[in-house]
A and B are shown apart, each in its own frame.
Chain A
């Protein structure tokens, strides 16, 4: 059973005071997330990532379509007991201490009274907040608030966890810790669905990703599959500082470093470039395939999308 099934979920806002113009935040979205996988939901700002999450959490009502989490409808309270949510830039009750806040959330999530203290303490420790447990939240730094946010999301040991920009506000150490936590959650058999616009995080963590732009799904799949769909590149390094003009025409980038030249060529042109270099009598040092990054895929996909939009508009 899929952990998350999104079936044509759609959200259109009507904007404006006098004449209401429709603004489409999310076009009909179809997406499935399997149990136990880490799923990345990627897109630039304003793409519809937060809207999707709000729809899934029942904070906003869809104008079309439906979704199921763990096989149950969105507003089913039984389902909500098994999910956790970290909103973007979370903010909590100023006057509570971390302890009190988590206790409160544990109460609302239906954690039995005898277990609450234990779970709260565990989760505070896990996120390195045990020293600040009795401090009022209004004294917390942004990074600490983010960690409290993660704490309340995993406190009740949910099966599916939803994070909206979990790395925001964290320093590199913090980001590392969150990545480790997400992998730990996966090891525990939980499903992690998170949205981000930091592609490098997604690349290393996710089993599968979906890319969304201007409310529309652009691509779904395993990272490797997506990147391999992009035409590969090859890096050729040769001795010397000369760059034959015919080679230059084939390369995307080409620069001399010290007494070597490095050029990146499309895979299709690999043979042609090598021939030219041999003819010129240049000594080739190495020919290495370059791994296409997710960012590359992302930018390319988005550019296509922009062009398409430009043509149609």
Chain B
């Protein structure tokens, strides 16, 4: 007198079939609608509307939008996109809902300001975002740092950068680099050491994996630039001494100018190129380098290395 086995079997089978098909269709739907939910952000007249509609659940909704912003950026970045137009509205809504979500401002500084494919090329909007953050969190040194960062890196307005760092250095518990950067901005703006200090500070000041990966990648590029410059200087010294270009790094070693075969930050040897130039073994490993690329090299859009997103620097 138990329930009919036949009916049980039939309905279990139908249930499993429906389950599998629904999962399958869901993936298809996701690909169809990958941007649709996000694009609704464009229809919102202002972030304040979202805050009002959130019925007091700002925090939760802020988290939802933050998650969407990170997802959006990650997806676009992965696809080497040129268009990040939703990033600014997403970050603005996130910070309107939760003005104390510092990581959102950091994200904006790192990825709103630079040009595609690494960002949305909205430096001024990034400035506005961070200024809004500062007005809501006046004791958060990271925000002043990020403001200065945008002025320095993208807008090349060294005066305003110095001003931002100076404001930030007065905040209790500020990172010591802020004062140094403020002081040295006038003279050493544009120099490699300044850039290195800045990327290192960025790396140390944030917890967000994307921002850190971005910082590491830039730091590696700076190292390569420095190495290539130094090596090319050595090569021109060699030429002056011997009247010709070295055929390999061994020649430089023979003269005591080098102790070992020079390697790049990944441990791959640099290559000696004709006419006294030095090149990296794999240019694709180093986005953002300004030296050491073969002639006619077109930089490929890059993605963050998985190891960078998960690990810590040296």
Q: Using CB atoms and an 8 Å cutoff, list the residues of chain A in contact with chain B.
A: 55, 58, 61-62, 66-67, 73-75
Contacts and interface: CB of A to CB of B under 8 A. Distances in A.
Contacts of A55: 1
Given A61-B1, A61-B2, A62-B1, 10 more contacts: A55-B1, A58-B1, A61-B3, A66-B1, A67-B1, A73-B1, A74-B1, A75-B1, A75-B3, A75-B4
Contacts of B4: 75
Interface string B1-22: 1111000000000000000000
A140 B2 CA distance: 37
12 contacts: A58-B1, A61-B1, A61-B2, A61-B3, A62-B1, A66-B1, A67-B1, A73-B1, A74-B1, A75-B1, A75-B3, A75-B4
Nearest to A66: B1
B250 to A, nearest CB: 81
A73 B1 CA distance: 8
A61 B2 CA distance: 7
A73 B4 CA distance: 12
Interface residues of B, number: 4
Contacts of A75: 1, 3-4
Contacts of A67: 1
Of all A-B residue pairs in the complex, the 8 with the closest CB atoms, nearest first, are A74-B1, A62-B1, A66-B1, A61-B1, A61-B2, A75-B1, A75-B4, A73-B1
A31 B156 CA distance: 98
A61 B1 CA distance: 7
Contacts of A62: 1
Contacts of B3: 61, 75
B5 to A, nearest CB: 12
A147 B165 CA distance: 90
A233 B3 CA distance: 52
A66 B1 CA distance: 7
Contacts of A61: 1-3
Nearest to A60: B1
A58 B4 CA distance: 12
A268 B140 CA distance: 107
Contacts of A66: 1
Nearest to A55: B1
B183 to A, nearest CB: 70
Residue among B1, B2, B3, B4 with the highest chain A CB neighbour number at 10 A: B1
Nearest to B4: A75
Contacts of A58: 1
B290 to A, nearest CB: 71
B229 to A, nearest CB: 75
Nearest to A76: B4
A62 B1 CA distance: 7
Contacts of A74: 1
A251 to B, nearest CB: 52
B38 to A, nearest CB: 46
Contacts of B1: 55, 58, 61-62, 66-67, 73-75
B7 to A, nearest CB: 10
Interface in B1-56: 1-4
A75 B7 CA distance: 12
Nearest to B2: A61
A301 to B, nearest CB: 29
B86 to A, nearest CB: 50
A52 to B, nearest CB: 13
A55 B2 CA distance: 11
A67 B1 CA distance: 8
A75 B4 CA distance: 8
Nearest to A9: B1
Nearest to A63: B1
A55 B1 CA distance: 9
Contacts of B2: 61
A74 B2 CA distance: 10
A61 B4 CA distance: 12
Nearest to A67: B1
A55 B4 CA distance: 16
Most chain B Cβ neighbours within 10 Å, of A55, A66, A75: A75
A8 to B, nearest CB: 11
A298 B2 CA distance: 35
B245 to A, nearest CB: 86
A62 B3 CA distance: 11
A77 to B, nearest CB: 10
A66 B4 CA distance: 15
A113 B1 CA distance: 32
A272 B207 CA distance: 108
B180 to A, nearest CB: 66
Contacts of A73: 1
A91 B3 CA distance: 26
A46 to B, nearest CB: 23
A65 to B, nearest CB: 8
B58 to A, nearest CB: 39
B157 to A, nearest CB: 69
A163 B3 CA distance: 24
A62 B2 CA distance: 8
A58 B2 CA distance: 9
B11 to A, nearest CB: 16
Nearest to A65: B1
A81 to B, nearest CB: 17
Nearest to A74: B1
Nearest to A73: B1
A73 B3 CA distance: 12
